[in-house]
Structure 1
Amino acid sequence: MATIPDQSGRLVVVTGANSGIGYVTARELARRGAHVTLACRSGERGEAALGRLRAEVPGARLELRQLDLAALASVRAFAGDWHHGRLDLLVNNAGVAVVPFARTRDGFEMHFGVNHLGTFALTGLMLPHLLAGREPRVVTVGSEGHRARRFDFANLDARQGYRASDAYVWSKRANLLFAVELQRRAARAGWALRSMAVAPGLTRTNILTGGANRARGQGYHLLVRTAERLFFQNVERGARTSLHAATADLPGGSWVVPRGLLQLRGAPTCRPQEPALHDAVSATRLWELSEELTGVVYPRG
């Protein structure tokens, strides 16, 4: 954390900033002078996080805005009401993990709808503000688990059956493909934008036990708590890859992961040999599908 450079004057949005990795990311950027907007689904939890942040970082420049990635109307409202003119950094952190089957307000399977389509739509709608920003950057939080299953375009929206673990890892693969394809398109268009993706590693947050997972049985929660205690790192360590990608001088298209075994923990490093980084065919197909499903069409440059 001590290596994060001065962020004074930087306008930042962190989605899902009320807890976990998003909270630590917002706190450390604000601690170093950034003006940080906490984009949170729950107003109550967002207000609580805002109060904690102001107590931890007196004088921090913070604001709270409502954003529900499970509702494209909310995403459009967030972007439409952006009043700062420019945006320098968007951290796409919010997401869900291995939740029981559900659909978003727009009818998409929840993992695909929130983790990918909501993120895709938000970034596209905020793109004009990013292109007006100072050295603009987009950081999208993926997962090392994206390698666990082959990408299945035929079932991304769970029309042919649902397994929570598959839906989650497919959505995380989509995050990585999106981040790299955004960089390709930025380079072709001559935009100054840098897009990159990160994996935090195994981290103790409430993503496996909160939200829709709160109603799971005692056995599930006991198993998760035991695994977290034995194998997971604390949230400050988990936020290191997000903060590194957000502030270090890295090339666009970087995949920032923990340097330890299987990228599950450790200091941040770039892993350019990740196969998905070079899967332009799947990335283009996913991009076109995402524009069709969300109605958010990016400029061609």
Structure 2
Amino acid sequence: MTKWTANDLPDLNGRTVVITGAGRGLGLITARELARAGAHVVLGVRDTDKARRAVVSLPGAFDIRTLDVADLSSVRAFADSWSRDLDILINNAGVMDIPAARTVDGLDQQTATNYTGPFLLTNLLLEHVTDRVVHVTSQLHRQGKIDLKDLDWRTRKYNGMSVYEASKLAVVLFSLELQRRLSATGSEVRSVLASPGIARTSLAAHSRSNVINRFKFLTNAPELGALSVLYAATQDVPGNSYIGPDGLGGLRGYPALRRQGKAGLDTAMAGDLWKATTELVGAVAR
């Protein structure tokens, strides 16, 4: 069978895409390929100077804007400054297996970066989105456990990998509930999930699990990992689709329509998580 690659991207002229955390890694590759296909790509990043240096030699139309998804005031400022149609929002920014830390809002750093910040950003920008929201998750969501009474890891013992897994399960459940809400209103906007597999980027390379360094034969090259995101962002797939590598265990390979873990399809939990997250981050609408 023919494998889907970035060469199969459609013409994206006239389309606007926002990608969070796109100054390096999978986000930068995604930005590069979407711009090459004609999209106007907005990079929402913490370090704007670094992002400008990253794209300076790349062909295409780029706009660099300040956005720290772990800082709720930064998220609100970015959303408040947006006044035009937005075809595609890609929630790509993330951290993995980091030591315990708190944001300026007092939230768990890893959960805020991977889930609560993107949750707020999506809700605030949703009125502008015309096509879809892409959530970058992980195969490790299958090991995640959600505690609705302690989403922010205040009472549970902190374990970096457990927090990562839980945050990525929360992303999967967020997509499920978002799609339910969109469909209930008759909206044609889609919520789509993308897993890059275990990609060899700086995100995972420092993980204390050391999977990347020990078992490279199980991992995806960054260029391949980004294909799942590109596919999810541009192909005609149903709402709440899960796109991931077609190889063994969804760890490596080319993009294909896969299936979320069972816990990621729990509609009751998805609804309860939405409510709990709203209480955690505050108002999610203008």
Once the two structures are TM-superposed, the CA of residue 151 in structure 1 deviates from its matched residue by: 2.6
Once the two structures are TM-superposed, the CA of residue 249 in structure 1 deviates from its matched residue by: 0.6
- Counterpart for residue 255 of structure 1: 242
CA distance in 2, matches of 1:154, 1:291: 13
Unaligned runs of 5+ in 2: 1-5
Q: Considering only aligned residues, what root-mean-square deviation do their CA atoms show, in Å?
A: 1.9
Amino acid at match of 2:248: L
Amino acid at match of 1:16: G
Matched, 1:244 2:264: no
CA offsets 1:166-218 (integer angstroms, 9 cap, x no match):
10000000010001111110000111110011111011111135xxx6xx9xx
CA contact (8 A) 1:179 1:253 kept: yes
Aligned positions, number: 280
Q: Are residues 116 and 273 of structure 1, via their aligned partners in 2, closer, same or farther at CA, if it must alter by over 3 Å?
A: closer
CA contact (8 A) 1:18 1:40 kept: yes
SS in 2 for 1:153: coil
Alignment partner of 1:189 out of 185, 188, 197: 185
CA contact (8 A) 1:8 1:33 kept: yes
SS in 2 for 1:25: helix
CA distance in 1, matches of 2:142, 2:264: 12
Matched, 1:171 2:167: yes
- Counterpart for residue 29 of structure 1: 34
- Moved >4 Å (runs of 4+): none
Amino acid at match of 1:11: T
CA contact (8 A) 2:247 2:253 kept: yes
CA contact (8 A) 2:123 2:284 kept: yes
- Counterpart for residue 74 of structure 1: 74
Matched, 1:153 2:152: no
SS in 1 for 2:86: coil
- Counterpart for residue 104 of structure 1: 103
CA contact (8 A) 1:203 1:228 kept: no
Unaligned runs of 5+ in 1: none
CA distance in 2, matches of 1:158, 1:291: 16
Identity %: 43
Matched, 1:127 2:129: no
The TM-score normalised by the length of structure 1 is 0.88
Alignment partner of 1:294 out of 277, 281, 284: 281
CA contact (8 A) 2:145 2:165 kept: no
- Counterpart for residue 138 of structure 1: 133
CA contact (8 A) 1:195 1:252 kept: yes
SS in 2 for 1:290: helix
Amino acid at match of 2:68: D
Once the two structures are TM-superposed, the CA of residue 264 in structure 1 deviates from its matched residue by: 0.3
CA distance in 2, matches of 1:119, 1:150: 19
Q: Are residues 28 and 38 of structure 1, via their aligned partners in 2, closer, same or farther at CA, if it must alter by over 3 Å?
A: same
Amino acid at match of 2:76: R
